[in-house]
Copies of this chain bind each other. A is one copy, B any other.
Amino acid sequence: MSARAGIVVTGTEVLTGRVVDRNGPWLAEELRERGIDIAHIAVVGDRPEDIAGALRFFRDEGMDLVVTSGGLGPTADDLTAQVVGDFQGRPLALDEPLERRIWAILEPLLTRWPDLDPEALRASNAKQAMVPAGATVLEPVGTAPGLVVPPPDGTDGPTVVVLPGPPRELQPMWLTAVATAAFEAAAAGAVEYRQRMLRLFGIPESEIAATLRLADERHGIDGLEITTCLRRGEVEVVTRYEPAEQARYDAFVSVVRERHADTLFSDDGTSVDEQVANALRERGWTIATAESCTGGLLAARLTERPGSSEYVLGGIVAYGNSVKAGIAGVDRDVIVEHGAVSAPVAEALADAARARLGADVGVGITGIAGPGGGTEEKPVGLVWLSAAGPEGARLTRRVVIPGGRADVRDRSTTIAMHLVRRLLRGEAGPSGS
């Protein structure tokens, strides 16, 4: 029986979606990698009774560990430490050395914002130095310390790890938390798992369902915890299993490979972004973009990776037609004859990216992101994409992407990455298309 954990993400701003929660999934993955089973993430508002409700639920479900994120800030609606102390029957007391250490972090703020009221700052932050009896303090990464709070003495309820909300504080503090004796005691019984991912592009999810049934008939898939999902236009198949099931997993992969040879593009966890980056590095080639409907998203995606300046030169965002005909140098007659959303314009943009920025590979994108601007002949979601390389190599593609404006723009960048990947694999000859 594996150790089990629940995650409580606090914050009305997360509950109502003004802030996207990055901590819950991050912690879930961390726990899974440590062989700790994770069944739920509870996202709760800032009301103490709701936080306490989530803690009770996890205790009643028999969890060994609960990890909370958020609610450690200076404002009065940040109450997690108090709620967890009450829940574990451990009264809070001011930890004066900790208060001084926090003050040493805060004091420089008075220089940065000279209008701050020092007394208010001190009051706000003494609050952050209140520690439940018997808890282990995790030193602040920002200004808020974390806590590892054991269950009430003599009981076997969950140990609660209390972490701050900002991911760049939570993530390093988590590494401190897992090294504490209190955490290790609670996490005893973790099982080793392996997790592997397959990625496919260009098939519907229902095809994978049929493949799973076939694999089950042939070799059985018991012992493999397989989940499939659609993500940014790709199908991801993630499998978790104990090391003893490796041969069964390998048999499963061989069935997928056999049925989906042309759409399975990754069996080692690499993303299309990584594959494009690696292929550009290997060839020593540079890339540049000329985007209309995606408005810079493809360039932003290409430069998301550290070190991308090795192979990304930049791009042109040719949103208005004046820019397409101006700095991007697309022939105005071509725009008039074929319309801005057309194969010739996508190809001219790709060529412009190569020529004007001096890149080996150019990518052109032009489409109708909506919600307005669609016609019967050229509906919202219609996008033309072209990737051009040296010696006339070129791949051009037309797609109609369902969904809203954001979907059309985001999905277009995925399709562009796959076009570039194919170009870099030599799937377009000098006369290819």
Contacts and interface: CB of A to CB of B under 8 A. Distances in A.
A56 to B, nearest CB: 9
B320 A205 contact: no
Interface stretch (A289-297, A386-394, A420-428): A289-297
Contacts of A50: 39-40
B327 A357 contact: yes
Contacts of A284: none
Contacts of A317: 289, 296, 299, 303, 314-317
B405 A306 contact: yes
Task: Report the interface size class on chain A.
Answer: 35 or more
A29 interface: yes
Contacts of A21: 21
Nearest to A58: B57
A2 interface: no
Interface in A379-405: 402-405
B168 A402 contact: yes
A226 to B, nearest CB: 7
Nearest to A306: B371
Given A17-B26, A25-B14, A297-B296, A357 B323 contact: yes
A356 B327 contact: yes
Contacts of A124: 206, 209-210
Interface of A: 11-22, 24-26, 28-29, 32, 38-47, 50, 53-54, 57, 60-61, 73-77, 109, 113, 116-117, 120-121, 123-125, 166, 168, 203-210, 212-213, 225-231, 236, 238, 286, 288-289, 291, 294-300, 302-304, 306-309, 312-320, 322-323, 326-327, 356-358, 370-372, 402-407, 409
B44 A40 contact: yes
B43 A40 contact: yes
Contact of A76 (B14, B42, B212): B212
B28 A40 contact: no
A314 B320 contact: yes
Nearest to A143: B206
Contacts of A17: 22, 24-26, 28-29
A238 B204 CA distance: 41
A299 B117 CA distance: 38
A331 to B, nearest CB: 17
A261 to B, nearest CB: 11
A20 B295 CA distance: 22
Given A116-B207, A294-B300, A229 B39 contact: no
Contact of A109 (B117, B204, B320): B204
A89 B88 CA distance: 36
Nearest to A318: B314
Which 8 residue pairs of A and B lie closest in terms of their CB atoms, listed nearest first? A17-B25, A296-B296, A295-B303, A296-B299, A120-B210, A13-B229, A41-B43, A314-B319
Contacts of A212: 75-76
B309 A300 contact: no
Contacts of A75: 205-206, 208-209, 212, 228
